[in-house]
């Protein structure tokens, strides 16, 4: 049986992205799950658990597949379009698609519209992908903008990174026939050089997915786990480019959808059963100790391959021991008073991708004319984006929805008991509006997002207090990776969630103003209504 090998390769890159380190350093494990497919796993723990020949600047777990498209049994396809159904595609997990097609490998694909104008109910979530996409010679999504990178696999499985033509077309600058093509937002490698742009997206640490080709014509698939402190914090896209150039002979590479969408799956049991498993550690609901849940993505690239009879799967990367929770707030704590500024609620109302129907012209500001306490409150002027059949849902982020930004008194967090309250005011006669809370529970190394029940905001021009008990199970529902129970050990306020209906989608196209004041936590309080 083939055993995993450890490759120790020294990599020197200009700048601080990759630096030599004598003891703690990254290693690359290798196995061959299928004929013509080599699976590499890069692990950096920043401790003596890894001691390879090059170092990454933070904890990282990444997977790279090198696929020989000429190997027996290798073939590719892209998720097809919706046909007569609404939208271009129906969101499905990568694993479900691999099982449905009887394939062996799958990786998530293009970015997609998170606020599609299509009415849908589970299990059908219709949406549109962002860039040029072609499945088996049939185009179903046009170019978003000229110059974006496009990866094409022709009918002979030869891979090539192309340049998108004019917006609204299915063309490329090279004017080649597209067979299985998928677009991305950034080109990372061009002719062996790192060409990653210097922008906010490229410089943020995130989970990522990349697709490319080597100088020898092999296909590269890379996933990077992220948002899992002490396990894998993610990479910048330029760091991905450096790794692929330095270790994998990358010629051309583009970046695909990442974040919680990043998913790599194998059906590698060779048991005749369609039972693909997740190879990486998705970030939605993940902690440093446990992987997250796979996301319904817009489309995926899948690979057919023949099993390798001498294959031994790579062991999972070792996860760190559970961290200690943050100390708990024991006294009544006001999170925001809006007396000096908007504080943790400074992000514009349309910032979150979880919102629906909210226009970019929606604003928030301090208002000295109305306050429940003190001299100022926050006034939200919410505008609808005009999409038909779409209500208004606004996820007003607290501290950018980052648990680290929602600590108080230095390092303290809420516990799983007590109550969160907020004061609201609406003008008399305003149309119905509802409020819920979103909270993260877990620890700083990983949380799950929970949603409270909705409360109708009273429209009488007076201030009213709305309270939710953290330890009342009737008040809570799972949201993104959540289980519908506030079980701590720490709890962090994620956002105030306004909706034109007591649901997370639908409702009328609400517009108007609402005032917010005195967001606070009372550890000893309970509220059962």
Between the CA of residue 57 and those of 9, 23, 142, 174, 345, what are the distances in Å?
Answer: 16, 13, 38, 38, 31
Determine contact, residues 379/367, Cβ cutoff 8 Å.
yes
CA 161 to chain centroid, in Å, comes to 24
Is the per-residue pLDDT at 12 higher than 70? no
What's the pLDDT band for 54 if we cut at 50, 70, 90?
Answer: confident
> 316 is written with which tokens?
């999972």
If you search the block for the tokens 């299509």, which residue do you land on?
A: 118
* CA angle in degrees (0–180, nearest 5) for 258-84-103: 50
What's the pLDDT band for 50 if we cut at 50, 70, 90?
Answer: confident
Is the per-residue pLDDT at 275 higher than 70? yes
The pLDDT value recorded for residue 46 is 84
How many angstroms separate the CA atoms of 206 and 201, rounded?
Answer: 9
Determine contact, residues 143/163, Cβ cutoff 8 Å.
no
Is the per-residue pLDDT at 19 higher than 50? no
Determine contact, residues 16/57, Cβ cutoff 8 Å.
yes
CA 248 to chain centroid, in Å, comes to 26
Nearest Cα to Cα of residue 490 among 419, 452, 524, 439 = 439
Is the per-residue pLDDT at 382 higher than 70? yes
Is the per-residue pLDDT at 331 higher than 80? yes
Q: How many CB atoms lie within 10 A of CB 166?
A: 12
Nearest Cα to Cα of residue 496 among 418, 356, 401, 388 = 401
């Amino acid at each position: 049986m083939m055993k995993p090998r450890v490759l120790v390769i020294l990599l020197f890159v200009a700048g601080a992205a990759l630096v030599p380190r004598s003891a703690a350093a990254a290693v690359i494990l290798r196995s061959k799950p299928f004929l013509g497919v080599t699976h590499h796993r890069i692990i950096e723990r920043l401790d003596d658990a890894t001691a390879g020949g090059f170092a990454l600047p933070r904890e990282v777990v990444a997977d790279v597949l090198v696929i020989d498209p000429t190997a027996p049994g290798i073939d590719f396809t892209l998720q097809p379009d919706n046909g007569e159904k609404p939208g271009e595609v129906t969101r499905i997990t990568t694993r479900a698609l691999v099982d449905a097609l009887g394939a062996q490998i799958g990786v998530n694909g293009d970015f997609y519209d998170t606020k599609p104008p299509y009415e849908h109910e589970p299990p059908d979530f219709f949406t549109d992908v962002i860039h040029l996409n072609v499945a088996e010679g049939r185009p179903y999504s046009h170019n978003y903008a000229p110059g974006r990178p496009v990866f094409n696999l022709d009918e002979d499985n030869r891979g090539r990174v192309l340049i998108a033509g004019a917006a609204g077309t299915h063309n490329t600058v090279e004017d080649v026939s597209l067979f299985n093509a998928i677009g991305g937002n950034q080109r990372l490698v061009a002719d062996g050089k790192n060409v990653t742009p210097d922008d906010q997206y490229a410089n943020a640490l995130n989970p990522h997915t990349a697709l490319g080709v080597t100088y020898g014509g092999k296909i590269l698939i890379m996933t990077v786990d992220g948002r899992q402190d002490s396990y894998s914090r993610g990479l910048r896209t330029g760091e991905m480019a450096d790794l692929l150039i330095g270790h994998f002979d990358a010629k051309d590479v583009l970046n695909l959808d990442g974040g919680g969408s990043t998913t790599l799956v194998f059906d590698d049991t060779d048991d005749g059963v369609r039972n693909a498993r997740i190879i990486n550690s998705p970030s939605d609901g993940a902690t440093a100790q446990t992987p997250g849940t796979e996301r319904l993505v817009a489309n995926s690239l899948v690979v057919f391959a023949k099993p390798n009879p001498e294959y031994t799967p790579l062991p999972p990367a070792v996860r760190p021991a559970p961290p200690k929770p943050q100390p708990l707030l024991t006294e009544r704590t006001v999170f925001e008073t809006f007396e000096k500024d908007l504080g943790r609620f400074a992000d514009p109302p349309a910032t979150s991708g979880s919102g629906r129907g909210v226009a970019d012209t929606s604003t928030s500001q301090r208002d000295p004319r109305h306050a429940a306490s003190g001299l100022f409150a926050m006034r939200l002027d919410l505008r609808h984006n005009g999409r038909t059949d779409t209500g208004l849902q606004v996820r007003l982020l607290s501290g950018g929805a980052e648990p680290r930004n929602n600590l108080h008194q230095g390092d303290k967090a809420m516990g799983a008991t007590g109550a969160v309250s907020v004061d609201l005011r609406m003008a008399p006669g305003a149309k119905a509006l509802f409020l819920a809370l979103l909270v993260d529970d877990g620890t700083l190394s990983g949380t799950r997002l929970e949603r409270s029940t909705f409360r109708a905001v009273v429209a009488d021009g007076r201030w009213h207090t709305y309270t939710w008990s953290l330890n009342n199970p009737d008040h809570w529902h799972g949201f993104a990776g959540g289980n519908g129970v506030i079980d701590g050990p720490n709890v962090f306020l994620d956002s105030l969630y306004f909706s034109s209906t007591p649901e997370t989608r639908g409702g009328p196209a609400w517009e108007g103003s609402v005032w917010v004041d005195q967001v606070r936590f009372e550890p000893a309080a309970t509220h059962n209504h």
